[in-house]
Chains A and B, each alone.
Chain A
């Protein structure tokens, strides 16, 4: 089990540029989450998918943010255009969920995004 894999680990970009963060969930998991962590706001849930379908994207801060999950083994979080206030650590997490069971999340090591 390789765990949740995120890439890149670090991303430095200039304001206005497009940023794409990538996540490979644990094989067999059917739910995927994107979180953002900052000192000021802590861990914020941005969006989560169940069986590749977005269930709740109410945490996505603005239209500049978009997330996709084209298949069970890959997801992206895109910011276009990026702004300095988007600087944060972005975590992807996955789990196995049924209608009557909530299993713990397994987190990747995160992508540290710096927008200058």
Chain B
């Protein structure tokens, strides 16, 4: 089965600074990759997804992610973080012809004023 690793449990950045959240996946074929964000007391909201084509994908709220097959990575980036970006971020991988989606352990983002 596929799996996802998010190496950073907690990251703190200053407001206005750039952000990169790491995600590595394990899957034998081309994966479907997703980033979700979860605010306290809420469900998960989709930020962006990669299925095929351009390896740099744009999402909502100014986020982007780059699929690197050679590194089995799908890191999330934002050039300038806002205080409202403080939340938990989850990377997920799905399989073709299968609904089985697996989530990473999540990275909690704290934004300093």
Contact = CB atoms under 8 A, between A and B. Distances in A.
A100 B32 CA distance: 11
B101 A109 contact: no
Contacts of A101: 51
B90 interface: yes
Interface size class of B (residues with CB under 8 A): 20 to 34
Given A33-B99, A48-B99, A102-B99, A109 B105 contact: no
Interface residues of A, number: 26
Interface string B66-103: 00000000000000000000000010101111111111
B39 to A, nearest CB: 10
Scoring A42, A43, A100 by chain B CB atoms within 10 A of each residue's CB, the highest score goes to: A43
A67 B99 CA distance: 17
Interface in A42-78: 42-43, 45, 48, 50, 55-56
Interface of A: 4, 31, 33, 35, 42-43, 45, 48, 50, 55-56, 91, 93, 95, 97, 99-102, 104-110
